[in-house]
Structure formats: structure tokens, C-alpha cells
Structure 1
Amino acid sequence: MLSILSITGPIYLAILAGFLSVRAGLFKASDMRLLGGFVLYVALPALLFSALSTKPFGEIIRPGYMVAYLLGSLIMVTLGYTYSRLVRGQGAARAGISAMGMSCPNSGFVGYPLGMLIYPDFAGVVLALNMLVENAVIIPLLLALASQQKGASPVTAFLMAAGRLVRNPLVIALALGLAASLLPFELPSVLTRTVGLFAGAAAPVSLFVIGGTL
């Protein structure tokens, strides 16, 4: 029991800190949006780049894990979209968003902090693989499904969604990190340490934001 609390306790305490900070007036609820943006557009991209660029490419890509994660996500997409359309009677757009909520886990704001406490040496790489699958297949697929109601063909909608995601800082960080892992030399320490400073803020600030939005 104590071993479980030693893992989950820091997570709940960090969330509680965010909740109490807003309740006490130290931060406004609207401030959490800014902090969330920092996590999403600065800290998490830095984390992904740091996790990937410091390991050889062969140690990063795990086909078995990626296929299992992809299949599990596709099953949830199918179930969520079908349920939303047939049972709840939602249109294509709302069904696509509902399926996204059912199939896309909160890897960055919850999954990574939890992973850091359980397996800190691999949490960053696992997060990167999850986001690689999500941004390459799952999210474009869901956006394509949601766009059917607007008259666009699924293929066109998929390509348009993929094109928008290419400009996402998380996707850019994934690409740069994978490219850096292929280099025959190490990156300058001044660069890796600077990126590491921002990466270290990802877990605590993300949990703080969750608490602040409750």
C-alpha cells in the first residue's frame, strides 16, 4: 500500500497544489490556460526532443509496442464513433470528437507524470511513441471522420488534418528528436542542458494546471 502511495501521492499533491493556489487567489483560473499553453507548446516539445535526441534510433523505435498501441486506439475509435453515431444519434462532427475523447489518452498531462514516477528512464520515450502514433494516424483519422459532415472526402480531410498537424510544436519536436538520434555525434551540452531545463517543467506544471482547472 505504501509503495502505491509513494507513486500516486506526489501526483495528487501536485494537483492539490494547483487547486489550492487558484482557490487562495494566488492564480486566476484563466492563468491556467497560459500555463497549459506553456506545457503544450514549450515544455512537452522540449521533453520529447530531449528524450529522443539522447538515445540511439534503434533504442527508440519499438514496432511491437507501436502496433499494439495503434490497434488498441483503432478499436476504441471504432467503438466510440459507432456508439456515438448509432446509439446517441450524433452527427459526423460530434461523433468524431466523442470518439477522440474515448480513444486519445491524456499522455502528456497525466500519463507522463505517472510514468516518470514508475519508470523514469523510459517515460519520455514511451510518451514520444504514443504521440507519434496519435499524431500520425489517430488524430488525422478522427478529424477526417469529423469533417465528413462538411462535404469533404475522407481522404482529403485526412490529408488536410495531417498537414495542420505537421506545424504542431509536438510533431516538430518528434521529428527533430528522431533526426538527432540518427546523428553520429552528440549534440552540444549547452543545447541539451537548456532543452532539459524546459523538459523538467513538463510533469509538475501539467499536474499543477490540472488542479488549477478543477
Structure 2
Amino acid sequence: MGEVLALALPFFGVIFLGLGCGRLARIPESGLAWLSFFIIYVALPALFFSLVARTPFHELTNGSFILATTATTAVCFTLSLLIGLWLRHGNLPEASIAAIVGSYSNVGYMGPGLTLGALGAAASVPTALIFVFDSLFFFTIVPVLMAVSGRDQHRLGQTLLLVVRRVVTHPFNIATFLGVVSAYFEFQPPAAIDKTLEFLRNAAAPCALFTLGVSVALRPMGRVGGEVPWLLAIKLVIHPALIWLVLSLVGGFDPVWIATAVLMASLPPALNAFIMAKQYDTYVAGASGGVLVGTVVSVATVTAMLYAIQHDMLPHGLLQ
């Protein structure tokens, strides 16, 4: 148990350190701007490029894994959307943001550090694949739902073009694409560049986690609606269980890939839930409360999942 706590507590410790600093320090949210820019446009892209570029190319084209994990996330999104529609009285924009809380893991800020720390370099490929394709799903489905609901004033065609542009120009996706190209050509960067990339990727996790804590601290904590416990149950319990079930049914995956997918699915809601709520000016308090409560609760659930993975308690298949 000591090894698990030694792995988990630094991650959550940095988050709560940021949370405490955000509550105590009288610094406006604009003070995060350059650090956020560094994380999104420099450190995390360096991390994802390095993860993918060092991977044998044939492992990056595992279509069955991509389809299984993304489809499972879509199922959790749909289930959360239905709960949101039920408890938010048919309000599609609010239900769409609620569905993000119930299905979008914090795969960017928390995912790589936890999976690589728990499972080693073998977790790099499934981590990158889940991040890229889950993000593509959410960056596509949410704007489309907002356009359908009338919350987004653009026409559906304009919205789809905007979605494509954002996906193509997102720094994480660009870095991953360059990593795939590097893996295909087996490109080895010069020592100085490789050292710079190592320096940057080592900064990614602590900076991202601290920023996550500060960002959560600065969010208004409004009344948590009755749907939030249901959404968090889907996010923290049903999502990882369903991922394990689907991957086990499909079969043929390395146990490390299964463990990586389950651990990624067990992460708390992504901060993007609040960002999208602010963007569309809907369900802001619910998204803020869901991210904050989900992050706190996940201290227990993610630690338990890490314990299960570290002690090989996660079944490798349905027949085991």
C-alpha cells in the first residue's frame, strides 16, 4: 500500500497544493495565462510527441483498441446525456455539459503522469491513443449538440468547419501527428533537441496538476444538482468497469493496455467540462461542482484502482 500511496499522493498533493494556493493567494485568474500557455502549447505537446515518436509504428494503428475505448466513452456520454435530459428537464445544452462531467476523463493533466508512473513506458501508446481519440470525440459531439440546440449561433455547416479547424490545429493533435510521422520514419532527434524535449516533458505533469488545482479553486462552487452524484458514479465507477468489460470481450490486448485504459477511465472529470460550460454559458455551476467534487472523490477511487493494478488484482479477461 505504501508504494501505491507514494505514487498517488504526489499527484493529488500537487493538485491540492494548487487548490490551497488558489484559495489563499489574491492573484487573479489572468495570472495563470502564461503557465497555461506553456502547458498546452509547449510541455504537454512535448510529452505526447515523445511518447508517440518512441513507439513502434505498428502499435499506433491498433484500430480495435481505438474503436473499443472511444465507443465505450461514447456510451458513457450518451448515458450521462440521458440523465442530464431527465434531471435538467429536457434542457439539451445543460445536459450536454453534464454529459461531459460523466464521461470525459482528465486524460490531459492527470493521465500521462499516472499511467506512466504506474505502468511504465509500455503505457505510453494506449495513453496517447485514448487521449487523442477521446478528445476528438468530445471536440466534435459537443459543438454539434450545441448547434442543434440553438445555443451556438453558427449554422451547423459552419460549426462542423469550426470543429475540423480546431481539431486539426490543436497543439496536442499536431504533436501526436508529428510523433506518428517520426515513428514511421524512425526519426531520432539530435541529442540537444532530445534533452530539451525531456526537460519539457518532465515539467508537464507538475505544472498541469498545479494549474488544475488553482483553476478549480477559482471556480464558483454553486449548488450541486441532483444529477451530479449520478454523473460521478458513471465517471468514476461505470466508465472504468465498462472499459474493462469491452476490452475483455474484444480480446487480444496486452494486459498493460487494458490496465492503462481502465486507469484512464477512472480519472475524475476533465477541466474541459467547466471550460465548455463557460464557452456556451450554460451549466457553469454544475460543471464547476462536478469537477471539484469528482476530483476530491477520485482521491479514494483512483488510489484504489492503482492498488488493484499494482497488485495484479485487475482480471485480464472474463474467463479469469
Specify the TM-score bucket, using the shorter chain as the normaliser.
0.7 to 0.9
Secondary structure of the 2:185 match is coil
Q: Which has the higher contact order (CA 8 A, sep 6+)?
A: 1
Report the Cα distance in structure 1 between the residues aligned to 2:27 and 2:204, rounded to whole angstroms. Answer: 20
| Aligned residue number for residue 194 of structure 2 | 192
| Aligned residue number for residue 127 of structure 2 | 127
Letter in structure 2 aligned against 1:59? E
Secondary structure of the 1:186 match is coil
| Aligned residue number for residue 27 of structure 2 | 28
Report the Cα distance in structure 1 between the residues aligned to 2:121 and 2:129, rounded to whole angstroms. Answer: 14
Distance 1:22 1:184, change over 3 A: closer
Secondary structure of the 1:107 match is coil
Give the conservation status (yes or no) of the 8 Å contact 2:84–2:98.
yes
Letter in structure 2 aligned against 1:198? L
Give the conservation status (yes or no) of the 8 Å contact 1:46–1:199.
yes
Match for 1:205 among 204, 207, 213?
A: 207
Count of residues in Structure 1 that have an aligned counterpart in Structure 2: 212
Match for 2:180 among 178, 181, 194?
A: 178
Report the Cα distance in structure 2 between the residues aligned to 1:77 and 1:99, rounded to whole angstroms. Answer: 5
Find out whether 1:136 has 2:136 as its counterpart.
Answer: yes
| Aligned residue number for residue 48 of structure 1 | 48
Find out whether 1:66 has 2:66 as its counterpart.
Answer: yes
- Post-superposition Cα deviations, 1:97-148, rounded to whole Å, max 9, x if no partner, equal 2222322111111222221320231344333111221233332022211211
Letter in structure 2 aligned against 1:202? A
* Structure 2, unpaired ranges of 5+: 218-320
Report the Cα distance in structure 2 between the residues aligned to 1:97 and 1:24, rounded to whole angstroms. Answer: 29
- Post-superposition Cα deviations, 1:66-89, rounded to whole Å, max 9, x if no partner, equal 222112111012112222224312
Letter in structure 2 aligned against 1:93? P
Give the conservation status (yes or no) of the 8 Å contact 1:52–1:181.
yes
Letter in structure 2 aligned against 1:142? V
| Aligned residue number for residue 104 of structure 2 | 104
Secondary structure of the 2:102 match is helix
Letter in structure 2 aligned against 1:176? L
Report the Cα distance in structure 2 between the residues aligned to 1:184 and 1:36, rounded to whole angstroms. Answer: 31
Letter in structure 2 aligned against 1:32? L
Report the Cα distance in structure 2 between the residues aligned to 1:20 and 1:8, rounded to whole angstroms. Answer: 18
| Aligned residue number for residue 92 of structure 1 | 92
Q: What is the percent sequence identity of the aligned residues? A: 26
Distance 1:19 1:60, change over 3 A: same
Secondary structure of the 1:41 match is helix
| Aligned residue number for residue 78 of structure 1 | 78
Q: CA deviation at 1:23?
A: 5.7
Report the Cα distance in structure 1 between the residues aligned to 2:136 and 2:197, rounded to whole angstroms. Answer: 24
| Aligned residue number for residue 148 of structure 1 | 148
Report the Cα distance in structure 1 between the residues aligned to 2:214 and 2:132, rounded to whole angstroms. Answer: 28
Letter in structure 2 aligned against 1:175? F
What is the TM-score of this pair, normalised by structure 1? 0.84
| Aligned residue number for residue 161 of structure 1 | 163
Report the Cα distance in structure 2 between the residues aligned to 1:142 and 1:122, rounded to whole angstroms. Answer: 32
Distance 1:71 1:4, change over 3 A: same
Secondary structure of the 1:28 match is coil
Report the Cα distance in structure 1 between the residues aligned to 2:27 and 2:120, rounded to whole angstroms. Answer: 32
Distance 1:180 1:123, change over 3 A: same
Report the Cα distance in structure 1 between the residues aligned to 2:141 and 2:40, rounded to whole angstroms. Answer: 21
Q: CA deviation at 1:184?
A: 4.3
